[in-house]
């Protein structure tokens, strides 16, 4: 975990793996308030660990920060590192949540992984660190489930 920004404002090669990726944080500019931060990644990709074929997902990450917020460029690079990473949908989705919990220690976090079908079946994966905090507006993720054609 780093408190000094090393990636923002300069060209960065993509990390070769999620483990190599550096997630950076900055001090919460409104640490006296409780509010929600949402990141949406509609074109997330990883690799099937069995076939090596690409898997695609729409990720929605919500969190209520404490003292730190995640720096968005570092998050983009981290998520992009999954493009060459072989793991099942469940492993990817929960690993992202666990890494964010470890790096920024939010009051609350949830992630929705809306995975597109392969083999005829979509798999949606959801993780939440606990009950939603009182007094914070937490909008629904509003990602439509996969309906296929028709």
Question: Is residue 63 situated within a structural domain?
Answer: yes
> How does pLDDT run across 6-64, given as a tens digit for each residue?
878 888 888 999 999 999 999 999 999 999 999 999 999 999 999 999 999 999 999 99
Nearest to 79 by CA among 116, 131, 33, 44: 44
Q: In the prediction, which pLDDT does 34 show? A: 97
Is the distance from CB of 30 to CB of 108 less than 8 angstroms?
no
Give DSSP secondary structure letters for 99-116: HHHHHH--SEEEEEEEEP
Question: Number of structural domains, the chain?
Answer: 1
Q: What is the pTM of this model?
A: 0.92
Question: Is residue 44 situated within a structural domain?
Answer: yes
Query: In angstroms, rounded to a whole number, what is the distance separating the alpha carbons of residues 150 and 144?
Result: 14
Set 41, 55, 62, 92: catalytic member: 55
DSSP 17: S
Question: Is residue 42 situated within a structural domain?
Answer: yes
Question: Is residue 74 situated within a structural domain?
Answer: yes
Q: Give every CB contact of residue 18 below 8 A, 6+ residues apart in sequence.
A: 78, 81, 82, 85, 95, 99
What strands, in cross-sheet order, belong to the sheet with 37-47? 37-47, 54-64, 108-115, 124-128
Question: Is residue 57 situated within a structural domain?
Answer: yes
Question: Is residue 6 situated within a structural domain?
Answer: no
User: Active-site residue 41, yes or no?
Assistant: no
User: Active-site residue 55, yes or no?
Assistant: yes
3-state helix, strand, coil in the chain (%, to 5): 20, 30, 50
E-only strand ranges, the chain:
25-27, 37-47, 54-64, 68-70, 108-115, 124-128
Set 32, 41, 48, 92: catalytic member: 48
Question: Is residue 86 situated within a structural domain?
Answer: yes
> How does pLDDT run across 88-140, given as a tens digit for each residue?
999 999 999 999 999 999 999 999 999 999 888 889 999 999 999 999 999 99
Tell me the residue range of the domain where 108 lies: 25-128
CATH of the domain at 74: 3.30.1130.10
Question: Is residue 81 situated within a structural domain?
Answer: yes
């Amino acid at each position: 975990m780093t408190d000094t920004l090393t990636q923002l404002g300069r060209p960065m090669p993509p990390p070769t793996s999620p483990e190599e990726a550096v997630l950076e944080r900055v001090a919460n500019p409104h640490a006296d308030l409780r509010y929600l931060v949402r990141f949406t990644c509609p074109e997330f990709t990883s690799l099937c660990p069995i076939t090596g074929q690409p898997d695609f997902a729409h990720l929605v990450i919500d969190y209520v920060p404490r003292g730190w917020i995640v720096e968005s460029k570092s998050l983009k690079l981290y998520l992009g590192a999954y493009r060459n990473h072989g793991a099942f949908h469940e492993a990817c989705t929960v690993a992202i949540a666990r890494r964010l919990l470890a790096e920024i220690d939010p009051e609350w976090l949830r992630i929705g992984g809306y995975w597109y079908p392969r083999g005829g079946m979509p798999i949606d994966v959801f993780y939440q660190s606990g009950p939603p905090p009182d007094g914070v507006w937490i909008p629904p993720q509003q990602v439509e489930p996969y309906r296929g054609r028709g």
